[in-house]
Structure 1
């Protein structure tokens, strides 16, 4: 299958509501190199993604597994920065804040608009987040 199809599939599958999509290099029967395409989705969406794979790829069959998933309780807050307001994802375990992450797409836009590295944006925003957590302004 043309590698261009994978790029198309990544966009299509994510637009259709997949939780994630990734590929792995593998070897199939007779030691033939291949690409394994994996889509993580809600069980209720399984038929939709099987149909996409059968219609859009060279495969004649789809294997699937059911997995359990645990996730942090999430909450979003907006913080003020020198670049404007930024959305921050907060992750809680047992009602305790254990993670806080700036939204990637907003940081990427800042990096482009201000012509600075994405690393610099993440560093600056994460410093603000830490300060807000330490002073209990984010909880």
Structure 2
């Protein structure tokens, strides 16, 4: 595998995970809330289905953000959801270095995102949107495009 010294890992000790439980919000609103949080600078946003008191189904909103954006996230969560409270947990995040590379296939170019640890590729994935576009245009199964891009990228890395 190729070496990537320019794709530095990063450790950020000043991160916060915000959590809010919701059992009375229309689930259709969750993607809108997620988009708003990402637009405001959230590093990660995800929902987990949960069972709340009295057996009520609910959702747990989780937001990973730097301390500097905490106020913006709070405002969105309180204004756009039905929660009455937010929990906070300080955390440290260790991120792999990342590189974006192009892989040529019989259908065209596809971007691959690679995760770099100590200068080596430890994981990689084709960009879904590129694979989806090609699958639709070429009329081939998405999984075929995805597998071909992964094979070509691994070959490309072995040759370097």
1:43-93 per-position Cα deviation (integer Å, ceiling 9, x unaligned): 222211111000001112211212211111111222222222221212211
Tell me the SS of whatever aligns to 2:87.
coil
Indicate the structure with greater strand content.
Answer: 2
1:39 aligns with 2:63: yes
Indicate the structure with greater helix content.
Answer: 1
Shift of 1:126: 0.7
Instruction: Kindly report structure 1 stretches of 4+ aligned residues shifted beyond 4 Å.
Output: none
1:9 aligns with 2:9: no
Structure 1 residue runs of 5 or longer lacking an equivalent are none
Distance 1:111 1:33 in 2: 37
Structure 2 residue runs of 5 or longer lacking an equivalent are 1-24
Query: In structure 1, which of residues 101, 116, 126 is the aligned counterpart of residue 140 of structure 2?
Result: 116
Q: CA RMSD in A?
A: 1.8
Count of residues paired in the alignment: 136
2:95 match: 71
2:81 match: 57
Shift of 1:33: 3.2
Q: TM-score, normalised by structure 2?
A: 0.75
Distance 1:84 1:75 in 2: 20
Distance 2:129 2:56 in 1: 38
1:69-125 per-position Cα deviation (integer Å, ceiling 9, x unaligned): 111111122222222222121221111222222112211221222222221111010
1:93 aligns with 2:117: yes
